[in-house]
Structure 1
Amino acid sequence: MPMTWTIALLIFISSCVSFLNSVYFGKLLLHPVSIFRSNEYYRLFTADFVHNDMVHLVLNEAMLILVCGKLEKLLRATYEYGSLKFLVVYLASMLFGTVAVTIIHRSDFDFSGAGASGSILGCMFCYTILKPEVTALYLPLIGAIPNKCDALIYILGLIVYKLRGKNSMINHELHFFGALGGILVTFVLFPGVI
């Protein structure tokens, strides 16, 4: 899983630097107004590489290694240039999420975002589509949940959390659009799964 580990290392180093340097953090996070007014398009890519705090970083790093690692391993075993295809899925998920959120919040100066969750969710949905029969989730009292159902459970969980939760730091729009980007790029790269 060379690409997964490379991305994880870059995210870890960049996020740790951003914890020590708030100016660095501010320059890299997703800030739609800065993208539109100052043409800082690089932010569409760099927001994945900074995180709000250590808990945010650790959670995303764990999910990155678990989810993206499984996807990259599958693609390397199944397709030529599997790691490159993984990178395309990751970047497409990232860009679909950041571009959509940037367009939605282009006039909201107070909006900003950081973290790799949208990209990771895009990879999770890609894996779910490619391996729907695999059991990746086990719930006590219910049992094993196949991949084709766990993505739906995850989305429902995000919706419930959004409706009941008050944590404004969680960017559910980016999660949604990152997942949607992962789904779309999966159908483009692997049309046989439709």
Structure 2
Amino acid sequence: MITYIIIGITVVLSYICFGNQALFMKLALIPYRAVKDNEWYRLITHGFIHADMTHLLVNMFTFWSFGTYMEQTYKYMGFGNGAYLVLYFGGMIVASVYDLVKHRNDPYYVSIGASGAVSAVLFSSIFFDPWGKILFFAVLPIPGILFGVLYLVYCQYMSKRGGDNINHNAHFYGAVFGFIFPILLEPSLLRIFLSRFGL
């Protein structure tokens, strides 16, 4: 239910901002304004707006694909809705910290999208089911743990390469947060994870 509510709000706000540049700039993550004007709300609101329909659909489809499963998993594990919300929005905030520090003096830097939060949800699912299949390039099914490693390597490579207007650092840090978050909630889960590799 929470997953669908977040998707609904994100779709509506993103669609409104497609035609409202003033609102878009008010909600986007602009580290300079967050720091200089204490507009810390941007660490959350930027995750509800997207650059275009493709950006929105890719993020929301991925979130729906793994979010509904993770929402139920967190309930089943006894963590509840609160933990699931911390996973999503915590991933969004953690994914923004790098940009916040690096671009705090750049008034022209803008970042948007739920990619950090979605990466957190995706990697939390990999933690709980490392051998579950994920479609690589939306075609080839590979184990989630292999997908995760390839994803992180790709994010780091593309971050250093640059030039594609995609915030790969947000993807990377959101993913790392999502993977370790269950361990922060319950450290004994690490033993269960390792046992799935015969360790």
The bucket for the TM-score relative to the shorter chain is 0.7 to 0.9
Distance in structure 1 (CA, Å) of the matches to 2:138 and 2:114 = 29
C-alpha distance after superposition, 1:36-62 (max 9, x if no partner): 111111101100011111111111111
Distance in structure 2 (CA, Å) of the matches to 1:44 and 1:138 = 30
Distance in structure 2 (CA, Å) of the matches to 1:49 and 1:138 = 26
Gaps of 5+ in 1: none
Using a 3 Å threshold, how does the CA distance of structure 1 residues 140 and 75 change in structure 2: closer, same or farther? closer
Distance in structure 1 (CA, Å) of the matches to 2:29 and 2:108 = 11
> Which amino acid in the other structure matches residue 155 of structure 2?
L
C-alpha distance after superposition, 1:152-194 (max 9, x if no partner): 02223334444666312x0111111211222332221131222
Give secondary structure in 1 for the equivalent of 2:188: helix
Q: Is the 8 A contact 1:29 1:46 kept in 2?
A: yes
Look up the match of 1:89.
87
Gaps of 5+ in 2: 191-199
Distance in structure 2 (CA, Å) of the matches to 1:106 and 1:139 = 34
- Give the 5 Å matches for 1:161-176: 161-162=158-159, 166-168=163-165, 170-176=166-172
Look up the match of 1:35.
34
C-alpha distance after superposition, 1:117-160 (max 9, x if no partner): 0101011111111111322336899x752222210022233344
> Which amino acid in the other structure matches residue 113 of structure 1?
S
For this pair of structures, how many residues does the alignment match? 190
Look up the match of 2:106.
108
Using a 3 Å threshold, how does the CA distance of structure 1 residues 189 and 110 change in structure 2: closer, same or farther? same
Aligned: 1:17 with 2:13: no
Distance in structure 2 (CA, Å) of the matches to 1:161 and 1:98 = 17
Aligned: 1:146 with 2:127: no
Using a 3 Å threshold, how does the CA distance of structure 1 residues 130 and 111 change in structure 2: closer, same or farther? same
Using a 3 Å threshold, how does the CA distance of structure 1 residues 138 and 44 change in structure 2: closer, same or farther? closer
Distance in structure 2 (CA, Å) of the matches to 1:139 and 1:102 = 30
Q: Is the 8 A contact 1:75 1:83 kept in 2?
A: yes
Q: Is the 8 A contact 1:92 1:185 kept in 2?
A: no
